Amino acid sequence: MKRPFEQAVTEHGAVVLRVCRAVLGPSEADDAWSETFLSALRAWPDLPDDANVRAWLVTIAHRKAVDVARAGARRPFPVAEVPDSTAPRGDQPEEALRDGDLWRAVAALPEKQRLCVAYHHVAGLPHPEVARIVGGTPAAARRAAADGIARLRSTYAPQGRVSAHV
């Protein structure tokens, strides 16, 4: 027979809080801790009676802490002085698509190569993050991006216009 959820909170709450603090630091750990137990409460009825509750809660805590960290990275932060423009000159929308032939060549790549080239070389994401987005391993994302650049060099580079970073 499964114990009451409140007992699991009492027994494992401190461990979950330590995991959240280890991943996030003390300032955001409380939010992740709360999110962990809200999520766990919803899933509690479906948890098997013989489940390792501590491991289950720590897994949820880790995922919630990562979610909180990612959300925090997207939040605006105060600055002393607001710049005239938020993007460097080369990142202006009208300049981002100056070379239509290049973007048509990128669009013609196989999907995985196109996504890996776009996420790594255009957006500047590291290969592990690209792999998380498109699926697969970081090595596969690296290979797909390299193959995409090689294909661009062979199809678009006769004009000598493809660099290592599209």
- pLDDT 10s digits, 101-143: 777 788 788 988 988 887 888 777 889 888 888 889 999 999 9
pLDDT at 142: 95
pLDDT at 165: 47
**Of 162 and 40, which is predicted with more confidence?**
40
Alpha-carbon gap, residue 7 to 92, rounded angstroms: 55
Whose tokens are 């919630």? That residue is: 64
Q: Stretch 65-87: mean pLDDT, rounded?
A: 73
Give the angle subtended at the CA of 52 by the CAs of 47 and 55, to the nearest 5°: 105
For 20, which DSSP code? Answer: H
| CB-count exposure of residue 21 (10 Å: 0-12, 13-18, 19+) | middle
What burial letters (b/e) apply to 24-55, b meaning 16+ CB within 10 Å?
beeebbebbbebbbebbeeeeeeeeeeeebee
- Asked if 120 and 127 count as a contact pair (C-beta separation under 8 A), the reply is yes
Per-residue pLDDT band for 23 (boundaries 50, 70, 90) equals confident
